[in-house]
Structure 1
Amino acid sequence: MLPTESPGAGAGQARSFDLTSRPWIGVLRCNGSQDELSLRQVFAHAGKLRRIVGELPTQEFALIRLLLAVAHDALDGPGDIEEWAELWADPDCFAPVQAYLEEQRERFDLLHPLTPFLQTAGLRSARDEVFSLNRVVADVPAGEPFFSARMPDVERLTFAEAARWVVHVHAYDTSGIKTGMVGDGRVKGGKVYPFGTGWAGGLGGVFVEGKTLRETLLLNLVAADTERLEFSPDDRPAWRREPCGAGSDGRSATGPRDLYTWQSRRVRLHHDVDGVHGVVLGYGDPLVSRNMHRREPMTPWRRSPAQEKKLGQTPVYLPLEHEPARSAWRGIASLVADRSESGGSTEAASRLRPRILEWIARLVTEGPLPRRSLVRARVVGVTYGTQQSVINEVVDDRLPMPVVLLHREDPTYAQQAIGAAEDADRAVRALGDLAADLARTTGAEQEGPRSAARAEGFDALEHPYHGWLSDMVDEPDPFEHRHVWQRQVRERVGRLGDRLIAAVGDAAWEGRIHTDGKGGTHWLNAGLADVWFRGRLARALGDPGSPGPGSSGGGAAAPAGDGPSGPGPTGLPETDHAATDPEVHV
């Protein structure tokens, strides 16, 4: 079905594409089928939908934020936890959204001549250039079209596709020098110099997934009276503000509704009756991420000593972005606990968990959400390259999470979950040291084998950790559950070590003279490397049958000298091996 045409429009010129009634949002139904739905349909059938789907995980994150902005604004809340509990109990809780969308329908028209959805009418450069759609479609890597599903360029998009990418470009567009737009006072020599990525591009995005899209939206619908979050009375989404001009109005964000729809770019789609064939794209409203933790709930935060020194103020918090090589389970501490490294109660925390998880903690602690509930923490983000001018990698991971981990007054479960991840990290470090030691027995390069062994170790433990964490829902004793995990880690990592040792050749069993970093020498062979490995694994996890390290609540103590700074110059922990690692001295 083509968009309707206005009588006064030019031949073949599309007039309207109403996002409230036209299908454009990809969804996965609970029966496993996929579909595209309008905004009205998404809210009407949210209880029968599993989740939003997009061309990229980042598109899903941006669309979830858009839906949350609609829900917050349509419901004008929730104001407090009692209002939220009423919504949670009401299967038809999103009914008011239908009237709201009808009221705002004109601002949700993708092709409106004066107020096109999240665009700037009449936007143009001094040369009236119309650019390739590659500028808004993020799955076309710059300079690497052969790795794209669209080769080599995006020549045309359907209106539904274009709408999704308009939402995405405001959230995740790259930085770099952009063409200046007529009417933008920031233009110098026809260009606007870098103002950074889209707002969500600087976040370590986190949201909570429930069993259905309805649950997902409600779980992320933070009440206005939430402690440590600021909701301005003026907080409202982009479509309830005056249409943007070519330049920036220089204002600050007013709260979550504003941030969820922040207009970081100025966009204008060029289209005909068949779809979109070009785009004009420039910078919009820049936004500094510093100390926005009281308004942006969907990211963890870290203190920045460098910014504190530069600005002469403390604390200064910046978003804690995701590391692509580090799975969500390994960074569980940033999700479930605020941390203060000083140990003093007056010192500001060095890390803040996402306020969206602080909200879940409140739901658990104050009662509406049962302690034995299970949700999924979804982490989404991007890493940029070459001065943030290209997207290098997209981060997408899920972590099943018993909500008891977030209980404000009972940190025991969270402490054991964090400690279990630390158990795995120490055990995998021991496995990496074994691989390096085996390489050293033949004089081979060590870092490659060490990295490969560590990657294999974490891969082998990721699925078991997810299962162990999910099982915590029904565990009355988190300490004993932690011991179960330590036994699993010992067994699995031990088997990986056995495989490494079994794969070495005769030269490794014969060994060679090795000089350590302190001037001593000893004979190193595969047998000795095996003994060292077993000793390190025992110190990392405790002896079999013992209560295990860290049973009082925190993580186990690392072997002396084998802390965050890593191994010593020989690749071994800088400890006295005389008691545990027999050596043949030369």
Structure 2
Amino acid sequence: MLDGGERELSLREVFVQADAIRRLSGDVPTQDFALLRLLLAVLHDVLDGPQDTDEWAELWHSDDPFAGLPDYLDRHRQRFDLCHPTTPFFQVPGLTTGKDGVFPLNRLVADVPNGDPFFTTRFPGVQRLSFAEAARWLVHAHAFDTSGIKTGVLDDPRTTGGRAYPQGPAWAGNLGGVTVEGANLRETLLLNLIAPDSTQHNDLPTWRRPPDGPGTGDITHRPAGLRDLYTWQSRRVRLQADTDGVFGALLTYGDPLAPQNKHTVEPMTAWRRSRAQEKKHDAQLIYMPREHDPERAAWRGLAALLGADDRTAATAGGRPAEVLQPTLVHWLGRLENDGLLPDGKLVRLRTYGTVYGTQQSVVDEIVSDEVAMAVVLLDESDRQLTTCAVNAVSHAEEAVDVLGNLAHDLVVAAVANDKRRVQGDDKTVAEIARDQARDRAYGELDGQYRSWLAAIRPGGDPQELTATWQRAARREIVRLAEQLLTAAGERAWSGRMVQFKDGSERWVNTASAELRFRKQLNDALPYARPANTETGSDDSDA
């Protein structure tokens, strides 16, 4: 809540109190992503839109944009009933294996690691869930459930020997999810409420379709639109419950949805061209969702989120874009261009994702991050500030690489560069030192960049902003370099003759390593180069 508290609210209360809610706060971050899409599906269906930016603007300025929600929820009340005898919410009534038994809730709850239940507050497993918590995990399962062999159910033609064989993770598990967050949930819902380029007549949420049965439903020419997509039934589930809550869950595969070229439908992820998929499917052009790298903070991926692309090139016969921004970002750019959002308004781009392991049958990591920025950076008509922000990430990466080279050279100057086994790879001790220095540098620059980005405002001078960022980055990199130099030791100061991969030999010591570092840093951050530096020396930082 805006007052800092946390409350569990009903679906109706969420919309009624949207102005007082700061953000969703589920059991895991990916649950927030899944629940937001559920709320958006409800809102899209109530409004049957928005159809364009004009309709969106009316909602944005309305005193009560969610006025139609109570009546809508009353009309469809039974389809939102978690324990309804014939139409239970997001479930299949009568789903069975043909045998009685209780199915563990561990398969429904993503924060209980299969086989490794030690790093969880639910040790040794989940015995029972409240109805509200079970509802949240049910929505999450349809979005992020793992692949792997699952329980086979009766009347599902895919069942073989009592098993359902891998079909891939649930739909959102394929994505590098992106949403935009406003000052409260009301703003967040509206900012993510986009007008799609096209929608089929049968774009309906799952609660307005006939209840699913076991097996795959009729998914020809689907998803039909955002309402269909946001409530896609990737799984078939039946909760086992009594009057005190939920104590079991039968879960198996539902409707498959291949990720290839779904960029015209899915708005909440960036896309990358995949030549491997093009070769595999003998196709000219295939885009795949661009997943988040758990080792990279969100700001380091700004190029994929804000960088220029050309969505019309492929259809116009031009050269296809290698990367496509999320459609959501384009939508926000349209709102900004049309003057529907104030240039200085701050929003947060939030990222979500799941990293699966062992043939996508387990969850290894959950990715979640956010970056605050003014909406002027989303302006597609004047991209100077956007380009400045994206380029600043490249400048930081170059400077971090320079620090990594220094750490590498200092180790080479002191000891033989033997190899060691690190996380399944053979790396030399100097390469290990380089990786450690780079990781620390990114950690130190993280807060600096986020503060610099959030401070960009309309009318800012890109050159001055670049200089400000490069000076801040240089200070941090030089500070870390001085620590490395101080800790290098006498053997590095004395140095030794080193043979390089090209066959050349040269004497490497602390002095030569530092000289190389200063020159490379000047090249990486030219706007922060000291005024007295012409040949690579850098007395001002010494």
Aligned counterparts of 1:580 and 1:469: Cα–Cα separation in 2: 29
Q: Aligned pair 1:354/2:362, yes or no?
A: no
Q: Aligned pair 1:492/2:460, yes or no?
A: no
Unaligned runs of 5+ residues in structure 2 are: 418-428, 538-542
Name the aligned partner's letter for residue 275 of structure 1. G
CA contact (8 A) 1:129 1:280 kept: no
Aligned counterparts of 1:219 and 1:537: Cα–Cα separation in 2: 40
Residue in 2 aligned with 1:231? Answer: 199
Residue in 2 aligned with 1:397? Answer: 369
- Partner SS state of residue 284, structure 2: coil
- Partner SS state of residue 91, structure 1: coil
* Structure 1 residues 40 and 545: alpha-carbon distance in aligned structure 2, compared to 1, 3 A threshold: same
CA contact (8 A) 2:518 2:536 kept: no
- Partner SS state of residue 172, structure 2: helix
The residue correspondences of 1:131-150 to structure 2 (distance < 5 A) are 131-150=103-122
- Partner SS state of residue 400, structure 1: strand
Aligned counterparts of 2:231 and 2:384: Cα–Cα separation in 1: 37
Aligned counterparts of 2:194 and 2:330: Cα–Cα separation in 1: 10
Match of 2:210 among 242, 257, 268: 242
CA contact (8 A) 1:365 1:408 kept: yes
Residue in 2 aligned with 1:296? Answer: 266
Name the aligned partner's letter for residue 47 of structure 1. D
- Partner SS state of residue 451, structure 2: helix
CA contact (8 A) 2:176 2:353 kept: yes
Match of 1:260 among 216, 230, 252: 230
Instruction: Give how far 1:312 is off.
Output: 2.9
Instruction: Give how far 1:314 is off.
Output: 2.6
Identity of aligned residues (%): 49
The residue correspondences of 1:203-214 to structure 2 (distance < 5 A) are 203-214=175-186
Residue in 2 aligned with 1:434? Answer: 406
* Structure 1 residues 543 and 36: alpha-carbon distance in aligned structure 2, compared to 1, 3 A threshold: closer
Aligned counterparts of 1:453 and 1:340: Cα–Cα separation in 2: 37
* Structure 1 residues 67 and 418: alpha-carbon distance in aligned structure 2, compared to 1, 3 A threshold: same
Residue in 1 aligned with 2:512? Answer: 528
- CA-to-partner distance for each residue in 1:1-59, whole Å, 9 max, x for gaps? xxxxxxxxxxxxxxxxxxxxxxxxxxxx1000110111111001101110111010001
CA contact (8 A) 1:304 1:318 kept: yes
CA contact (8 A) 1:427 1:493 kept: yes
TM-score by length of 1: 0.86
Instruction: Give how far 1:518 is off.
Output: 2.0
* Structure 1 residues 474 and 414: alpha-carbon distance in aligned structure 2, compared to 1, 3 A threshold: closer
Instruction: Give how far 1:449 is off.
Output: 0.9
Q: Aligned pair 1:329/2:272, yes or no?
A: no
- CA-to-partner distance for each residue in 1:196-223, whole Å, 9 max, x for gaps? 1010000000000000000000000002
Instruction: Give how far 1:439 is off.
Output: 0.8
Q: CA RMSD in A?
A: 1.7
Residue in 2 aligned with 1:25? Answer: none
Unaligned runs of 5+ residues in structure 1 are: 1-28, 548-578, 582-586
Name the aligned partner's letter for residue 56 of structure 2. W
Aligned length: 517
CA contact (8 A) 1:47 1:213 kept: yes
Aligned counterparts of 1:479 and 1:91: Cα–Cα separation in 2: 41
CA contact (8 A) 2:470 2:527 kept: no
The residue correspondences of 1:137-536 to structure 2 (distance < 5 A) are 137-224=109-196, 229-251=197-219, 252-339=222-309, 346-443=318-415, 444=417, 445-536=429-520
Instruction: Give how far 1:124 is off.
Output: 0.5
CA contact (8 A) 1:267 1:280 kept: yes
- Partner SS state of residue 321, structure 2: coil
CA contact (8 A) 1:340 1:350 kept: no
- Partner SS state of residue 437, structure 1: helix
- Partner SS state of residue 472, structure 1: coil
Aligned counterparts of 1:338 and 1:299: Cα–Cα separation in 2: 15
Residue in 2 aligned with 1:49? Answer: 21
Instruction: Give how far 1:580 is off.
Output: 6.0
Aligned counterparts of 1:347 and 1:336: Cα–Cα separation in 2: 20
- CA-to-partner distance for each residue in 1:265-284, whole Å, 9 max, x for gaps? 00001111111111111100
Aligned counterparts of 2:45 and 2:433: Cα–Cα separation in 1: 54
Match of 1:110 among 82, 106, 111: 82
